[in-house]
Amino acid sequence: MNQYDEGRGSTGDTTGAAAPAPSRTAREHIEQTERFAAHNYHPLPVVLASGDGAWVTDVDGNRYLDCLAGYSALNFGHRPERLLRRAHEQLDRLALTSRAFYNDQLGPFAEALARLTGKERVLPMNSGAEAVETAVKVSRKWGYLVKGVEADRATVITMSGNFHGRTTTIVGFSDDPVATDHYGPFTPGFTRVPYGDIGALDEAIDDTVVAVLFEPVQGEGGVVVPPPGFLRDLRELCTRREVLMVADEIQSGLARTGRTFACDHEDVVPDVYVLGKALGGGLYPVSAVAADDDVLGVITPGTHGSTFGGNPLAAAIGHEVAAMLATGEYQERARVLGERLESGLRKLVGAGLLAVRARGLWAGVDIDPRLMTGREACEGLMRRGVLAKDTHGSTVRFAPPLVATGDEIDLLVDALAGVLAQARS
């Protein structure tokens, strides 16, 4: 037994128990949501009411191990005590001011995040998509003012299989028809190349290219890890061709992969970090772009902003998150528990799984489509007390909170093994 085997949120009498059919109360919540909320999601039929650590409880009292963690927004688990305490303290003082004024929380947050990223400056926003949009704007303006690209000609290179958000500009450089169909026309100025193909990237760069926007690990794609050495090659290429290396670490960053940033696995420092999700501690939308003065210095008063970006509550929470990450504790948890998760999942290859991809406490598995779809696998896991999310047919993603225990990681693997065994029988 190691130091991560037991702890808060450990299993209980309900662990792995088959969840009964939704009660009348649950059905009423589902029907109300389906009646009045737009159908932009297809949730599993579970109605969550509370959470603690790596666990959530539905309106019927059934407990589930949360193995999605809000797409990594809940790296620190549900209701993390330290972050809750800090948020409550700030709520009792001041929650929102316009950036027309200074507040006493933004400066400390900006300094802490700058030190965590090793960058000179940060630009705070709210959602991850807003941070990506900000990075695109900054890259273009840098291209015009610093690189000298001809007006209105700036090009940003993106990669196949990308997921950077849902705004009209962002989905325009997606290759997922679900994201793009019926939403055009799209913003010009983007070129897409195969993910992980340094040769195609080199060939695509011309005098108009100002940035390469990429995910060090593609989460929505099913935890797709680039070829070894790709990040180092990309860093060298961007430097040589005078192009900004813009790393979208919204899901992969802030300890999820066992390092502070996924780029750290190849000791690479991008020109621009794009951050979000876990930066808000699972309590509040907080995102940011971090870069040095020679990049973020192109932003001047009035040229970019956000009503809520950098507000005192967001800054207080983000500051506390940066302080928690500075200890290295959560990075180490993700590394150790990730090894345990990957080891367990790899034993299922050939027993219903076709492939496993993992980095830190983050894994994507490809289920044999002859057995079931990813959605059907997630429904089976839900019945066994584990919540996860499918993507792209028969792929399922796992991203438990970093506060999970080793026993809970084993529970996840055992639940998946049970679902696969049942499908094979």
Catalytic residues: 163, 248, 277
Q: How many residues can be counted in the chain?
A: 425
* 167 token code pair: 């705004």
CB 320 within 8 A of CB 85: no
Token pair recorded at residue 287: 């995102």
What whole-number distance in Å separates Cα of residue 317 and Cα of residue 202? Answer: 40
Rounded (5°) CA angle 58-61-64: 55
Torsion sign, CA atoms 70, 73, 74, 79: negative
Q: 290 phi and psi, to 5 degrees?
A: -120, 130
Please list the residues that pair with 274 across neighbouring strands. 248, 289
Distance CA 141, CA 137 (A): 6
CA 89 to chain CA centroid, nearest Å: 27
Distance CA 153, CA 424 (A): 55
Q: Tokens at residue 344, please?
A: 């367990």
User: d(Cα 147, Cα 154) in Å, to the nearest integer?
Assistant: 10
Which stretch of DSSP H or E encloses residue 36? Answer: helix 24-36
